[in-house]
Amino acid sequence: MRLGWPAVRPAAKGLVWCLIFGVELAASVVVFVIGWTLVATHWEAALPREIRIAGDPAVRPQLEFACELATPQLQSLLSQHDVIDDLRELRAGISLSLVDLSPGRAEIVRLLNRAGIPVTAWIALPEEQGYYVNAANAPQAAARFAAFKTWTREFGLRWARVGLDVEPNIQEFVAMSRGNWSRLIVTVVRRCLDSGSVSRARKAYAGLIRQIQAAGYPVETYQFPFLADERKVHSTLLERVFGIVDVRGDREVLMTYSSFNHAADSALVWQYGPDAQLLVVGSTAGDPKLGANLGPLSWEELSRDMLVASHFSPLIGVYSLEGCVRQGFLPRLKAMNWDQSVTISREADSKIIQLRTRIQAVLWTGSHLPYFAAAILLMDVCLIWRQRTRHRASARTTAAKALSAV
């Protein structure tokens, strides 16, 4: 049986209105984000041309080097001449990723314990479980901590604290690098549609942090700096999209890695510093094959980031230990003059201000998207009702004229 136009017409009209609604919603989001950015850019134009940060001779922050080398490579690194002595002279600590709970890694911790170097137990999961802790693997993280306690007792290890690195599942980074976007999009959509995922993850990790503290360990969490933007606009969009968790322990560390955008200079640290309890800078071990923009920090870049970070953070994390050893930074850090001034160009500062503005605008808009949709839908309903009212009035007028003519 063939359907004629009268039968298809209502469906076609519905499809047209759906398309109009989608275009209106997308346009309103774009206009709102652009407007927010323009307002912030206008305000930013009144800032000074450059920022000069004076040095402070009284400031010498504590240093903590992050390390996630595999056990054989780490054993080789620490056996190099003067590495242990340099760390001890710097009075620096190490945040050690527990990529395995082996006797060999326990022996490394015991070596650092004997040298008097504070060690943070950076809880890491097997890669097939996501490596980083996030909303998808809270039970596995709790099981890993239980295994860590057993391992610690078995080998008599001492820890300054326990660290939780909150990042998306490492398998999602692998999917991105391989271009497997379809699987990744399905995962993100599923997370976004799960309305209770954020509250469940926060509750689970708050419970895990209480367990860790009850075992006698202070807890530090490592977070993306963009979480500070999400908090400013009271959003949970980042948590829902990336599966991260906004949870805090005894202290929070924001990961301000300027190696991801060398052109931004130390402005990333300067802009996010006021929102942080502690800061970590880096990376000193990037892969030059990935391109100049993702290469490791030079000494000049690292020292500038550290000088800026010292104005906000009494402890500065450095990612990573292996990169610093490879580039010969440890001896230079021992002789570093913390009384230096740093100048951040207006251009670099503007880039980060605009970046934060766009991030906050997108997060706020995304969180309020249902309200945008409801408002536009209401406008469309009113428009349709008005058109139909006019059409009926016109039809009645035409009918009346026809009757009067008769």
Q: What is the pLDDT along the chain (406 residues), one digit of tens a residue?
A: 454 545 555 556 556 656 665 665 566 655 556 655 655 555 555 555 688 988 776 668 999 999 999 999 999 999 998 999 999 999 999 999 999 999 999 999 999 999 999 999 999 999 999 999 999 999 999 999 999 999 999 999 999 999 999 999 988 777 776 677 777 788 888 888 887 999 999 999 999 999 999 999 999 999 999 999 999 999 999 999 999 999 999 999 999 999 988 988 899 999 999 999 999 999 998 654 444 457 899 999 999 999 999 999 999 999 999 999 999 999 999 999 999 999 999 999 988 998 998 899 889 888 766 665 666 666 666 766 676 676 666 656 665 566 666 5
For residues 381 and 219, give the distance between their C-alpha atoms in angstroms, rounded to a whole number: 53
Q: What are the pLDDT digits (tens) for 249-259?
A: 999 999 999 99
pLDDT at 38: 57
What is the DSSP secondary structure assignment for residue 160, as one 8-state letter?
S
pLDDT at 13: 58
pLDDT at 289: 42
Kindly list the domain boundaries of the chain, sorted by start residue.
14-46+348-383, 51-347
pLDDT at 1: 46
> What's the CATH architecture for 51-347?
Alpha-Beta Barrel (3.20)
Pairing label, strands 278-282, 251-257: parallel
95, β-bridge pairs: 66, 120
pLDDT at 366: 80
Q: And the tokens for 203?
A: 């509750």
- How far is the CA of 154 from the CAs of 105, 106, 112, 373, in angstroms? 13, 9, 17, 58
> Which stretches of 73-226 are assigned E, i.e. beta strand?
93-97, 119-123, 161-165, 219-223
Count of other CB atoms within 10 angstroms of residue 241: 16
pLDDT at 364: 85
pLDDT at 396: 64
What type of residue is 353?
A: I
Count of other CB atoms within 10 angstroms of residue 226: 19
User: How big is the CA angle at 356 (ends 270 and 324), to the nearest 5 degrees?
Assistant: 45
pLDDT at 376: 62
Q: What are the pLDDT digits (tens) for 221-239?
A: 999 999 999 999 999 999 9
pLDDT at 389: 72
User: How big is the CA angle at 96 (ends 92 and 102), to the nearest 5 degrees?
Assistant: 135
> Are 130 and 170 contacting, i.e. CB atoms less than 8 angstroms apart?
yes
Q: What are the pLDDT digits (tens) for 50-87?
A: 889 887 766 689 999 999 999 999 999 999 989 999 99
Q: What are the pLDDT digits (tens) for 33-49?
A: 665 565 555 555 555 56
Instruction: Compute φ and ψ for 163, nearest 5 degrees.
Output: -115, 140
pLDDT at 180: 74
- Answering whether pTM is above 0.75, one says yes
Count of other CB atoms within 10 angstroms of residue 310: 22
